[in-house]
Amino acid sequence: MSEIKTLGDALPDEIARVTTILGHYVEIGPAGAFGAMLIRASLDRATRAAASGDIVAMIQALEDLKEYTE
């Protein structure tokens, strides 16, 4: 069974995970540029949501980040 995390713990963990994925997109160069742009936008929204403390925005950002896979 997976560990239950609070939103305050889960969102930074997902931001870190997706930041790693962003690195993979950047590494492949121009072929990954569009994907990298989308990931950066998602990370920006997640960071702003976490900074604002807006629970609804944080939940939406968390769900958005969970969609990214390696």
CA distances from 46 to 1, 42, 51, 63 (A): 26, 6, 9, 10
pLDDT at 1: 58
- Tell me the pLDDT tens digit for each residue of 1-24: 578 999 999 999 999 999 999 999
DSSP class of 3: P
List, for residues 17-46, the tens digit of each pLDDT value. 999 999 999 999 999 999 999 999 999 999
Cα 27 to chain center, whole Å? 18
* pLDDT tens digit sequence for 44-67: 999 999 999 999 999 999 999 999
Contact, 57 vs 49, CB < 8 A? yes
Residue pair 12/20 in contact (Cβ under 8 Å)? The answer is no
Instruction: Quote the pTM value.
Output: 0.90
